[in-house]
Structure 1
Amino acid sequence: MVLTVFTWRYGGREVYLYGSYNGWGDRTVMNLVNGSAMAFSAAIDLPPGYHQYKFLVDGTWQVDEEQLRVIDENGVINNLIFVEEPSVNAQRLPPEAVRSTLDLDSIRDMQLEASSSGVLPNGRILQLPEDRTDASRHRLFVHLSSFKAHDLMPYSGEAIALDTEVAVKQAFHIMYQQGLPVMPLWDAQNSRISGMLTASDFILILLELHQFRALLTDEELEMHTISSWKNDKLQYQRDVAGAFLPLQRRELIQVGPDDSLTDVALTILRNEISSVPVIYSPEDGFCPQLLHIACLAGILRHICWHFRHSLEYLPLLQQSICNLPVGTWTREFGWANNRTLLTLHPSSSLGCALNLLIRARISSIPIVNDNGVLINIYSRSDITSLANGNVYAHIQPDQTMLSQVLNEAGHDRYRVCTRFASLYTVMEVLSDPGVRRIFVIDGITRRIEGIITLRDVFNLILS
């Protein structure tokens, strides 16, 4: 037997080690390394040979992405370790007995590269075969197509709508108090849901207010209604060069209670919206009924709930995010795409942040220090906090630093993970209705490496 040390370096509250050496039966408790807040270790006597192992971190299965990994006959990714006999210094190839479960040629290449450099190659993995990836996507597509929008509705609750004649100031104050980034609008004159009021509307209002503040009296500010804002919005909107472009009114985007969850998700994705009202329209011509506001987080929560105990059927969800074409990353990490990871400093102006959110068509901006360390975020929904106390009517965006509004908004308002987190782990975090994105950071330096949003996840699983 050879005493073998296993290490998990990426944090957690409770970390356990499982392995093929005991038939994946008994777990081994891993303890924090002295002087570290992130690293856990455990030592086990193992017979010489190859052994597969895995970590259970806070109830979620994990693998160490910087160690050798293999895919077993069930499509599950595990770490692999070769335990040498005390008298043997050179690594050997795995015996023929394991040829059916391991990609022998890939392991040989990795071992040769490791022996020449002294360390295991970073980021190398026996990638999930394309047919298994497609099979995971197909299972998710079929599952979502078999459930309806009404399956997202809670057993009890209410859907709130704003009257279009409510003053803008009051409307955004309600959104702030309710913690809602979007609310449906009720047209009482025509007895129908006529549109949606979003945080983006508030940003545009704030930018226009800053431009034309001298032309508006305090009374006009108090009485400016949602309907008048929506009508004004149709007349012009700035493009990235500052010119005015005419906008065309578009019909309300909605779904019915019997639409499949696949259709609901695709409706949100294709129309580049954050949520969609579920409206029941009686055949007898009676007033349409607002039943629910469907969002991607609700659909993701549905997926996680149904598959949390059967992830072996969805090997795609067990892949690490750094090995998947998902999210927006810095150049050093992740998949290359046509998007740039945009960041700002605390000394940047609020006006710069607001214009960037609108022009880049993004929902949040990481706030970093000079070393690229994530210290906070500013998102579209944060703008509604300016409705509290009528701050928006007096603030000067170009003369207000982000550090000022961030202090007022509070800290610790975002969720993070490392690039070694599994897709399912990220999905569980994003299934929280209050979380629309997760920031990928280095577990030690906290430098930002990427962002994964709800939209990114659904573009991956429904592509």
Structure 2
Amino acid sequence: MKENHKGGEKESSQSPISHKFDGKIVIKEQKRNIVADQRAALQVIREFLKSKTSFDVLPVSYRLVVFDTSLLVKRALNVLLQNSIVSAPLWNSKISKFAGLLTANDFLNIVHYAASNPDESVNLSETLTLDGLASIKSLSGSAVLDAVSIHPFRSLYEACVKMNNSSARRIPLIDRDEKTHREIVVSVLTQYRILKFVSMNCRETRFLLQPLRDLNIGTTTNLCHARLNTSVGEVIDLLIKHRISSVPILDDDDKLINVYEAIDLLALIKGGVYADLSLTVGEALLRRSDDFEGVYTCTLGDSLFVVLETIRKSRLHRLFVLDDEGKLLGVMTLGDILKYILFSE
């Protein structure tokens, strides 16, 4: 050190210390912050779900189609198509009780059974009523699941957990009349409506910035797929065997070009054709409804925030994860996303 006698100050004779910038350390620190922010955001979203009721998700005005179990299946199908809906609650008027949900999977089971029993297919299409669906489901080899429901004023979080535990994509909201104690079907809550509600009303979603490659959401192994020349019958077998709602369609280079969904079957059997499944997927897709929502994709570099923003803006049921060449890497359903939000650590 040397003294500066004029000002009484001391000056250092040593050179200033040089700090080398390490980009890797900064990146690691940023990544740690993103992970911490995401964990905190998920906890806030869970508390948000617990603070809201299932009834809160419903729009101010809505329409509900309910089928009596004595109705013919073919008439129920026409009503579904006319109203552009894919499911409806069932009501047993004999005992005034909720009787489950009619979904696209029920029609899968009917077609699968009819294809295995062609002699019964014509009679089946003309006489089968909704209360006979359980027996068809059992005969076709599908598991008969208990009808899950929830009171509309129970928490939204509880509704999500119930859906996850039962592998259901939707849950009916059932109330009871105070005087008669009879059940009342209020509405049906879907995974899509819940996730859209979260994306629109919970600001913490903007902190869900970890890339999907780090989150382990969805299915990435043993992926089912089909080609345009695959028969519809083969695709139906895949849908039933693996209990999935769609099969991705790949080209000869294994690039995703389309998807065949369980609901595509509704338009196919509108005319009462239950047993002819030799039609190819390519031919069947030509009969698809004009209101098809499209195929939604993402990459492993996308974040959950980006996915939820897509859900906020568009109606979808799943996303296909693709690489840079458009080849299929995985499938992420809305149920997978909801499960991650509920239970990830």
The TM-score with structure 2 as length reference comes to 0.84
Q: Give 2:54's aligned amino acid.
A: A
1:403 to 282, 286, 290: 282
How far off its partner does 1:275 sit?
A: 0.4
Match status 1:103 vs 2:6: no
2:151 to 232, 242, 256: 256
Q: Structure 2 CA distance, aligned partners of 1:325 and 1:220?
A: 43
Question: Which has the higher relative contact order, 1 or 2, with Cα contacts under 8 A spaced 6 or more apart?
Answer: 2
1:174 to 65, 79, 100: 79
Per-residue Cα deviation, 1:362-402 (whole angstroms, up to 9, x for no partner): 11111001111111101111111123222x33x522x2211
How far off its partner does 1:219 sit?
A: 5.1
- Number of the residue aligned with 1:321: 212
| Cα distance change, pair 431–176 in 1 and its aligned pair in 2 (3 A) | farther
- After TM superposition, the structure 1 = structure 2 runs for residues 151-170 of structure 1, keeping only pairs within 5 Å, are 151-170=56-75
Q: Give 1:103's aligned amino acid.
A: I
Q: Which has a greater percent of helix?
A: 2
- Number of the residue aligned with 1:457: 337
Q: Structure 2 CA distance, aligned partners of 1:270 and 1:323?
A: 24
Per-residue Cα deviation, 1:228-281 (whole angstroms, up to 9, x for no partner): 2334434x3427xxxxxxx6673x311111111101111111101110111111
Contact 2:41 2:205 in 1 (8 A): no
2:173 to 256, 275, 278: 278
- After TM superposition, the structure 1 = structure 2 runs for residues 93-132 of structure 1, keeping only pairs within 5 Å, are 93-94=20-21, 103-104=25-26, 106=28, 126=31, 131-132=36-37
Name the Cα RMSD after superposition: 2.6
How far off its partner does 1:130 sit?
A: 5.5
2:236 to 354, 361, 376: 354
Q: Structure 1 CA distance, aligned partners of 2:94 and 2:276?
A: 36
Q: Structure 2 CA distance, aligned partners of 1:438 and 1:152?
A: 23
- After TM superposition, the structure 1 = structure 2 runs for residues 239-250 of structure 1, keeping only pairs within 5 Å, are 250=146
Contact 2:45 2:202 in 1 (8 A): no
| Cα distance change, pair 344–279 in 1 and its aligned pair in 2 (3 A) | same
**Unpaired stretches in structure 2, ≥5 consecutive residues:** 1-18
Match status 1:298 vs 2:196: no
Q: Give 1:326's aligned amino acid.
A: I
Contact 1:298 1:433 in 2 (8 A): no
2:96 to 187, 191, 214: 191
**Unpaired stretches in structure 1, ≥5 consecutive residues:** 1-91, 108-124, 240-246, 330-338
Q: Structure 2 CA distance, aligned partners of 1:432 and 1:200?
A: 27
How far off its partner does 1:104 sit?
A: 4.2
Q: Structure 1 CA distance, aligned partners of 2:248 and 2:177?
A: 45
Contact 1:176 1:387 in 2 (8 A): no
Match status 1:436 vs 2:317: yes
| Cα distance change, pair 285–370 in 1 and its aligned pair in 2 (3 A) | same
How far off its partner does 1:285 sit?
A: 2.6
Q: Structure 2 CA distance, aligned partners of 1:425 and 1:199?
A: 29
2:161 to 249, 261, 266: 266
Q: Structure 1 CA distance, aligned partners of 2:304 and 2:169?
A: 21
- 3-state DSSP of counterpart to 1:214: helix
Contact 1:169 1:387 in 2 (8 A): no
- Number of the residue aligned with 1:417: 298
Q: Give 1:376's aligned amino acid.
A: N
2:268 to 379, 386, 409: 386
| Cα distance change, pair 154–355 in 1 and its aligned pair in 2 (3 A) | same
Match status 1:225 vs 2:225: no
- 3-state DSSP of counterpart to 2:326: coil
- After TM superposition, the structure 1 = structure 2 runs for residues 67-82 of structure 1, keeping only pairs within 5 Å, are none
Q: Structure 2 CA distance, aligned partners of 1:127 and 1:380?
A: 41
Q: Give 2:214's aligned amino acid.
A: N
2:307 to 405, 419, 426: 426
- 3-state DSSP of counterpart to 2:31: coil
Q: Structure 2 CA distance, aligned partners of 1:105 and 1:195?
A: 51
Q: Structure 2 CA distance, aligned partners of 1:272 and 1:432?
A: 25
Q: Structure 2 CA distance, aligned partners of 1:229 and 1:342?
A: 27
Per-residue Cα deviation, 1:170-196 (whole angstroms, up to 9, x for no partner): 112222232322211111111222111
Q: Structure 1 CA distance, aligned partners of 2:154 and 2:185?
A: 15
Q: Structure 1 CA distance, aligned partners of 2:306 and 2:111?
A: 37
Q: Structure 2 CA distance, aligned partners of 1:401 and 1:154?
A: 40
Q: Structure 2 CA distance, aligned partners of 1:426 and 1:455?
A: 13
Contact 1:417 1:439 in 2 (8 A): yes
Q: Structure 2 CA distance, aligned partners of 1:273 and 1:349?
A: 27
How far off its partner does 1:156 sit?
A: 0.9
| Cα distance change, pair 248–367 in 1 and its aligned pair in 2 (3 A) | closer
